[in-house]
Structure 1
Amino acid sequence: MIQDNPALIDAIRDRFAHVDSCPFQGERIFFENAGGALTLKSVAETSAFYAAIPDNPGRINPAGQGTQNVINKAKQDLAVFMNVTSGQFFAGESGTELLFRMIRTACLAAPNGAKAIGSSIEHPATRSAARRWAKIAGLDYVNVPHDNDTGLVTAEDYAGLMSPDVAVATILHASPVTGMGMDVAAISAAIRAVAPECLIIVDGIQHAAHGQLDLDSYNVDGYAISPYKVFSRHGYGIAWISDRLSALPHDMLIDAPATGWEFGTRDAGSYATVSDVVSYFDWLGGEVSGEADPRARIEAAGRAIHSYETHLTNTAINGTGNLPGLRDMDHVTILAGADNPAREGLVSIVINGKASEDVVEVLNQQGIRTHTRKADHYSGNVLTPLELSDCIRISFCHYNTEQEIARLLAAINEMGGDG
């Protein structure tokens, strides 16, 4: 596994731009991965190459056909990466924008008097879209409360509020505030047990970087990711939709193909960088396993990433060397509990008597990049019930190291005596 192979960690880090320094700040440790992961060097190179090509994909000329082939390959790569055998992939402005489009289409296609269901743990990307379009479409919105202590919502929580007239459902795969991953397959099954025709749309934006995606097993109708959070770049989102959702009435040009969901000329470079990301997972899977099949290598990479990120979060929580862990620092409170098996590479904390943004700034001055989450329109659904105005989000990825966590723990430990 990754944690037992220092040479592999070095090889992983070598594939990412700005892994230990910032062009604006200089040397720094990057623990802000939930806000946007590091970018693969190959992605930067690919982006520059395609940015200089003037031809539109699909035109009858070598560049037009060549860039269209790049787009087609990226969609095939995505199908392997996410393990899906039907439906279609398409790009949009962002993951949030794509979630709004999918949810809008599902709500407007729902029968009169039907219901939409979602949970209070969700990011506003799905929650705002579902509440807005449910109201416009005349649907009742059903809120599934999450558990404040665990930072989770479960299949049982959904099942308790389900009814046969639920036509639209939204699920968050992983929370960018608590860091907890939901059991999407189980929640989907609980929904379909009561309302089998329900259109189910999943926000996978926070989860995707952890490398364990299996759409065929989820039995859902829509799934969105933001590639800048999974080692690509800003400026676009990727959605997958089922054949059923593809065929519903949706925003499109008059007389355009009935199942077309993309608007305007596609950016071949964004698609090409998706292939770079999938190639990276394929490479990593080959390093941690003897698998020959691409999907099997990607699955191996996902298992290795999960194992190593669990090791990193456990190191932060339990300590390393002579440094106490976050759980043993009296001035630190860990959101959603120190022992939570649903955690995915993220630990959110508060430091007694200190404003989180002040803590983040102190850490930043020491070259340790973290982030403040406030009880605002992004995170208030999680923080307000906990009677917290803010928290410090520390988010890891598999290119981080124990040595970096030791620096973090030392800095936070020093804050205990000066409050």
Structure 2
Amino acid sequence: MTAITPALLDDIRGKFAHVDTCPFTGPRVFFENAGGALTLKSVVETTAKFAAIPDNQGRDNAASHALVSVIDKARADAALFLNATGGKIIVGESGTELLFRLIADACLGSEAGVVLGSMIEHPASRSAAARWSQVAGKRHVLIAHDDATGTVTPEAYAAAVTPDVKVATILHTSPVTGMGMDLPGIAAAIRAVAPEALIIVDGIQHACHGGIDVAAAGVDGYVMSPYKVFSRHGYGLAWASERLSALRHNALIGAPEGSWELGTRDTGAYATFSDVVGYFDWLGGRVSDATDRRARIEAAGRAIHEHEAALTHAILHGTGNLPGLAEMPGVGIIGGVDNPAREGLVGFYVDGKASAEIVAALSDEGIRVHMRKADHYSGNVLTPLGKPDCVRVSLCHYNTEGEVASFLAAMTRILG
């Protein structure tokens, strides 16, 4: 496998809209990818194409048949992307909405017992598990994560799992710490004690970094927000296993067994996810000699991880003659400096300086980052650390070392 070279990086950047310019403010560096990644130009074109088509699915005419073919292809593409065999690909309102639906059905459709999760999880899964465990008369148990590393480990799950665990939730990657969890390891720890537990994964932050294999992980549900993986807002995408799909859930009377979707979904949403999978396929073909589509998708994930690791290393340790964040006085790094679990994100704070002030100063320098506060979204991570907020620098594989240098130069000026 080859790395992402400067020439390939130029080709990659050429496939994304607004890669270096905001349509409202002009030139900028985009380090706010965890809030929503850049959009593929093909997704923009596909969206416009399908928005103009008046026909509906399920009719006996050529246009309707074509739309159904687009949907079928997108479902097959999504299953390939996830390495999912069997089960159902579902399009819904958003990733959060789909987490609520899958977790609700798992809680209501299983026997009395425990719903197991962790404190590192985003409120999308934690809130859903808290609500539906109560409705279903189950006990909701939350495992403490490691504040120092920003992770929860298989060993922590193994210490907490009991045979009466009926539903378990796992966060694949944290949008606050930026750390990826050992998904196969955690799932195996759960299965070792509660083999029939329904395991549902929040993959919303992880998906853009590649490397998803639900078959290898042995889980029952995986949820993504496509706008965070190079598609657009307005829909969520999930996979549910055969046994999760077999449970009773909201459906129209007389609808086909196992049907999840309510009402007519946007064909263009499906089609844009095919664009995403096609992009991973293309990238995998540029960084490897693989001929199999799944192998190319896997190769793309490895190349993405390698490139992003190099960029985060530069952010932390510097590039050229510019010092990294870890070398700047008063700067603290969420999850530690050299953490192998990090995926394209660095959260930091500066002693004696408000994060909002740093975000604003970086914006003035043409660099877009984001502040996380100790609120209902991020308090689970920041409050135990005694921090009211932090600055989140989140990047993707289309970002460059030159953009990192611009960020570090700006930070050097801001900190004086």
Separation in 1 of the partners of 2:415 and 2:355?
14
Tell me how far 1:416 sits from its aligned partner: 2.3
Q: Is 1:369 aligned with 2:368?
A: yes
Tell me how far 1:110 sits from its aligned partner: 2.2
For residues 82-125 of structure 1, give each alpha carbon's deviation from its aligned partner in whole angstroms, at most 9, with x where no partner exists. Answer: 1111111010000000000000001111213x110000000001
Q: Is 1:189 aligned with 2:191?
A: no
Separation in 2 of the partners of 1:79 and 1:214?
10
Mapping for residues 130-145 of structure 1, pairs under 5 Å: 130-145=129-144
Return 339-348 or 356-365, whichever deviates more. Answer: 356-365
Equivalence for 2:49: 49
Equivalence for 1:301: 300
What is the SS of the residue equivalent to 1:240? strand
Equivalence for 2:237: 238
Q: Is the 8 A contact 1:2 1:9 kept in 2?
A: no
Tell me how far 1:4 sits from its aligned partner: 5.8
Equivalence for 1:269: 268
Compared CA separation, residues 336 and 43, structure 1 to 2 (3 A): same
What is the SS of the residue equivalent to 1:180? coil
Equivalence for 2:339: 340
Separation in 1 of the partners of 2:5 and 2:166?
48
Q: Is the 8 A contact 2:95 2:204 kept in 1?
A: yes
Aligned residues: 416
Tell me how far 1:331 sits from its aligned partner: 2.3
Q: Is the 8 A contact 1:363 1:411 kept in 2?
A: yes
For residues 219-238 of structure 1, give each alpha carbon's deviation from its aligned partner in whole angstroms, at most 9, with x where no partner exists. Answer: 11110000000000000000
Separation in 2 of the partners of 1:372 and 1:108?
37
Separation in 2 of the partners of 1:100 and 1:216?
22
Equivalence for 1:206: 205
What is the SS of the residue equivalent to 2:160? coil
Q: Is 1:15 aligned with 2:12?
A: no
- Poorly superposed stretches of 4+, deviation over 6 Å: none
Q: Is the 8 A contact 1:320 1:406 kept in 2?
A: yes
For residues 49-84 of structure 1, give each alpha carbon's deviation from its aligned partner in whole angstroms, at most 9, with x where no partner exists. Answer: 000111112211111110110000001111111111
Equivalence for 2:5: 5
For residues 13-47 of structure 1, give each alpha carbon's deviation from its aligned partner in whole angstroms, at most 9, with x where no partner exists. Answer: 00000000000110000000000000000000000
Which one-letter code corresponds to 1:381 in the other structure?
N
Compared CA separation, residues 63 and 347, structure 1 to 2 (3 A): same
Q: Is the 8 A contact 1:2 1:8 kept in 2?
A: no
Equivalence for 2:284: 285
Q: Is the 8 A contact 2:2 2:288 kept in 1?
A: no
Q: Is 1:409 aligned with 2:408?
A: yes
Compared CA separation, residues 2 and 373, structure 1 to 2 (3 A): farther
Equivalence for 2:318: 319
Which one-letter code corresponds to 1:99 in the other structure?
L
Equivalence for 1:258: 257
Tell me how far 1:335 sits from its aligned partner: 0.6
Which one-letter code corresponds to 1:235 in the other structure?
G
Separation in 2 of the partners of 1:96 and 1:249?
20
Separation in 2 of the partners of 1:109 and 1:328?
52
Q: Is 1:180 aligned with 2:167?
A: no
Separation in 2 of the partners of 1:331 and 1:405?
20
Question: What root-mean-square deviation, in Å, do the aligned CA atoms of Structure 1 and Structure 2 show?
Answer: 0.9
Which one-letter code corresponds to 2:278 in the other structure?
S
Separation in 2 of the partners of 1:119 and 1:85?
27
What is the SS of the residue equivalent to 1:324? coil
Which one-letter code corresponds to 2:369 in the other structure?
T
Separation in 2 of the partners of 1:362 and 1:225?
32
Q: Is the 8 A contact 2:170 2:183 kept in 1?
A: yes
Equivalence for 1:222: 221
Q: Is 1:89 aligned with 2:89?
A: yes
- List gaps (5 residues or longer) in structure 1: none
Separation in 1 of the partners of 2:103 and 2:287?
38
Q: Is the 8 A contact 1:94 1:238 kept in 2?
A: yes
Which one-letter code corresponds to 1:306 in the other structure?
H
